[in-house]
Chains A and B, each alone.
Chain A
Amino acid sequence: MTTARDKAAFLTLLNDHKGIIYKIANAYGHRPEDREDLVQEITLQAWRSYPRYDSTYKVSTWLYRIALNVAISWFRKKDVRQKRELALEGKIEQRVDDSSADDEKEENLQTLHRFIGELKVLDKALMLLYLEDKSYEEIAEILHVSKTNVATKISRIKQKLKQRFASQKEN
């Protein structure tokens, strides 16, 4: 039985961390309608999971797990052709409206989005968590992999990212 107070508490919690939801929805869903679907689905699953929320974990850990699980499951439902189309559209659409952002920052962000878009679903999750400055321990908790594994994979991804930015500068 959910009360109005529960709903209010959930909404406050969700809005305090809505950046997480939007970032993941944008990373996995490239078209505006897909992102909207993902935001809805993440919100629904968070609401369903809320009564079981274990306060020994940070809210962000809990929400990252839900958002990533929803996004990965959603992305995997798309067939190969749709995924290819999404990746192509993503290259054009993946941005936030911000006229104040300077060109270099915008370009960096575009390159970063393109790079994230090309990663496998689980590597993508790892990359997002790395960019969020999460500790290896928290990343390991969210994904359920060892800290050593997290460190190794992040180092590999960072290397690829470095190469991508280097080739961008050359061009």
Chain B
Amino acid sequence: MRRKKKTKMEEEEIKKSWNTYGEQLQTGKGLELSLVEEVKVMKAQMALTQLKWRRGIEAALFFVCFALLVNFIAVHFPTWYFMTAAGVLAVFSLIGLIGCIVEMALISQLDYATPVTVFQSQLQKLKAFDLQLLRLVFLSIPFYFAYIIIGFQSFLGVDIYANGTTAWLISNGVISLALIPFSIWLNRKLSYQAEINWVRSLVVENGGKQIQSALTFLGEIEDFAGEKA
């Protein structure tokens, strides 16, 4: 009982010191709106602006890919395998493009007045968006033959589909089908908390330090908020 009382007193003493410190700060230098005006100049350097720029560049790249693929379809109409190959990859580019635009809109809507763990979690997920792009790449693995067809035609002027033997075409078809379950499995495993070591390494290797740091902090936030408890 006496010990509890002593602890309580110590606690009050600590809080008293803190309050005195707070009072000193409260009576200190006043805040002026000119601070805001000055900071506006530094706006370009702010993290969110940088993130928005990054998404903007990615969106532009996806748009260029999409436009080139649509052009490829138009040029090679009505050859069905060229149109199918370019069509599939155009769909992936379009998904990437829409994803980037949505992310840019989400960044613009971020409000610092949101509760701390929610805001920080949103921010880290936005930073780890490249992980979603990586998932998109992995989902396109079974369609690797589309890249081969378009690549050969665009860069070497060779119609690989027309020149390939039937056995070769069938074997590629079989490999593509076999890759579907692998691609789906990998897509499911690629998460913010990838448990398999090589999958996690894959995420980190492809996303760099920013993703690694964002993923670690997301884990910390979840631990803090007690979701893992």
Contact = CB atoms under 8 A, between A and B. Distances in A.
Secondary structure call for the A interface = helix
Contacts, number: 137
B13 A142 contact: no
Contact of B112 (A39, A69, A162): A69
B195 interface: no
A23 B229 CA distance: 31
A65 interface: yes
User: Which bucket holds chain A's interface residue count?
Assistant: 35 or more
A82 interface: no
B162 interface: no
A160 interface: no
Interface string A54-94: 10000000100110111011001100000000000000000
Contact of B220 (A22, A122, A142): A122
B11 A158 contact: yes
Contacts of B220: 120, 122
B26 interface: yes
A146 B224 CA distance: 10
A26 B112 CA distance: 19
A52 B113 contact: yes
A40 B120 contact: no
Interface stretch (B14-22, B64-72, B73-81, B184-192): B14-22
A22 B46 CA distance: 20
B18 A112 contact: yes
Given A73-B120, A131-B15, A11 B31 contact: yes
B25 A14 contact: no
A105 interface: yes
A34 interface: no
B30 interface: yes
Interface in B171-229: 213, 217, 220-221, 224-226, 229
A92 to B, nearest CB: 17
Nearest to A128: B18
A122 B35 contact: no
Nearest to A11: B33
A49 interface: yes
A88 B28 CA distance: 26
A52 B112 CA distance: 11
Interface of B: 7, 10-11, 13-15, 17-18, 20-26, 28, 30-33, 35-36, 38-40, 42, 46-47, 111-120, 123, 213, 217, 220-221, 224-226, 229
Given A96-B25, A122-B224, 10 more contacts: A10-B33, A11-B32, A14-B31, A39-B35, A40-B39, A47-B36, A70-B112, A109-B17, A122-B220, A143-B117
